[in-house]
Amino acid sequence: MIRCALLFLLSPLTSLASTPPPTVDDIVAAHLRALGGLDHIHSLHSFVLHGHYHEGNINGSTYVAQMRPFYRVIGSPVEPLRHQHEGYDGSAWEYYPDPGLVVRTIGAAAAATRHTSLFDDALVDYHDHGTTLEAGGATHLGANLVYILHTTLADGFREDIYVDAATWLIDGYARTVPFHAFGSNYATHMEMGDYRSEDGFLFPHSSREIDTATGHVLDESTLDSAEINPPLAPSAFSPPEWDRTLVQQMAQRLYDERTDTVAILSTYRDFRALIGTSASTADAVDFAGYQCLKMGDVETSVALLRQNVADNPQSPRAHFGLGRALQTAGKTADANAEFDRTLTLDPTFVKARTARDAQK
């Protein structure tokens, strides 16, 4: 599927037919040499990358820290409770400052974090990691001649890796991924370049993700500086800890009980009796319900968000949240009714109008 989607950008090279292509082992060996050899690669134990990120109207500085064997965190360590960030400490997590919720993810969300948490690229020690590689011939990625390696990770995830035939560094990846939480899968590819040495280790200083079907650039990143082998504690890669408010306690427990509809409704009723109903409480329940939905617990999400609407009938956000859950459950008519109620309460609620119109 990935290979077909890339045909318009990556044209096969028939002129190479007379030249015996390098084997998988040839490509991997040359790649490791380009990186300085295995001993040099293994001498990198941790790093912190500082850069910039651009996606649509989003522009900002980036902070990424990684440590062997799998630790990773994205987001500034300065005042961590004020900023959304995510990480991997053996399992994937996300932190949201509003309402103050730590989400241990599963499914596609967890997979995306897990795959980006590989400390080395997928070609380094690939046998030890349970990765399989298959030679896919040669092609062009932009102006560069690259060799294609069809790659399958130990968890079954598949991607194509493009190794530059001149430098033996990785020029890009091609993947099929879900569009945000509820969208269908679509093909993207990553282009990487501007490799520079950071204290003796090569890092790409530019990358961009592209929608393969349209050629539209989804996001772009640049690396400004890197800290090599800084001392980092494993605790730096785990979610923040703090004394939660009652609303935050409720949101956390609702998410933690997402597989049990009876339990989640009981917990909600108990906290509602303790803290009452308010806009902040309704928004926290809506957010917890959305995270349940994102993890695939649709029935629980619908039940929780239906109760949230019953307790907050004048909340546009509550009606929209229920509509989105009903839409995911395949109940289109009921979902559109909730989107209509959202727009009656708030005619400027763009997401509700977009979701309703998409069903026509």
Q: Which conformational region is residue 104 in: left (phi greater than 0), alpha (psi within -120 to 50 degrees), or beta?
A: beta
Residue-level pLDDT at 16: 47
Instruction: Indicate the SS3 state at residue 276.
Output: coil
The Cα–Cα gap between 305 and 290 comes to 9
Of the CA atoms within 13 Å of residue 238, those in its CB half-sphere come to 6
pLDDT at 9 over 60: no
Q: Where are the beta strands (DSSP E) in the chain?
A: 46-55, 58-67, 71-74, 85-88, 92-96, 101-104, 132-141, 144-152, 158-164, 170-178, 185-198, 201-211, 217-228
Give residue-wise pLDDT tens across range 159-192.
Answer: 999 999 999 999 999 998 766 556 667 788 999 9
Residue-level pLDDT at 121: 97
Give residue-wise pLDDT tens across range 50-92.
Answer: 999 999 888 999 999 999 999 999 998 888 899 999 999 999 9
Give residue-wise pLDDT tens across range 194-213.
Answer: 999 999 999 999 999 999 88
Residue-level pLDDT at 331: 96
DSSP-assigned letters across all residues of 110-167: HHHHHHHT-SS-TTTTTTTTT-EEEEEEEEEETTEEEEEEEEE-TTS-EEEEEEETTT
* Residue partners of 341: CB distance under 8 A and separation at least 6: 319
* CA distances, 188 to each of 3, 131, 157, 290 (Å): 11, 21, 14, 26
Residue-level pLDDT at 122: 97
Residue-level pLDDT at 217: 94
Residue-level pLDDT at 301: 97
Q: Select from 81, 66, 152, 151 the least CA-distant residue to 113.
A: 66
Residue-level pLDDT at 20: 81
Residue-level pLDDT at 159: 95
Residue-level pLDDT at 232: 96
Give residue-wise pLDDT tens across range 107-129.
Answer: 888 998 999 999 999 999 999 99
pTM: 0.86
The Cα–Cα gap between 297 and 259 comes to 6
Across 219-234, average pLDDT: 97
Across 132-161, average pLDDT: 96
User: What DSSP character marks residue 213?
Assistant: T
Across 130-139, average pLDDT: 97
Residue-level pLDDT at 360: 67
Give residue-wise pLDDT tens across range 265-295.
Answer: 999 999 999 999 899 999 999 999 999 999 9
**Which value, in Å, is the radius of gyration of the alpha carbons in the chain?**
23
Residue 101 contacts residue 254 (beta carbons within 8 Å): no
Residue-level pLDDT at 78: 86
pLDDT at 17 over 70: no
pLDDT at 28 over 90: yes
Give residue-wise pLDDT tens across range 229-261.
Answer: 999 999 999 999 999 999 999 999 999 999 999
Handedness of CA 211, 217, 218, 219 (dihedral sign): positive
Residue-level pLDDT at 50: 97
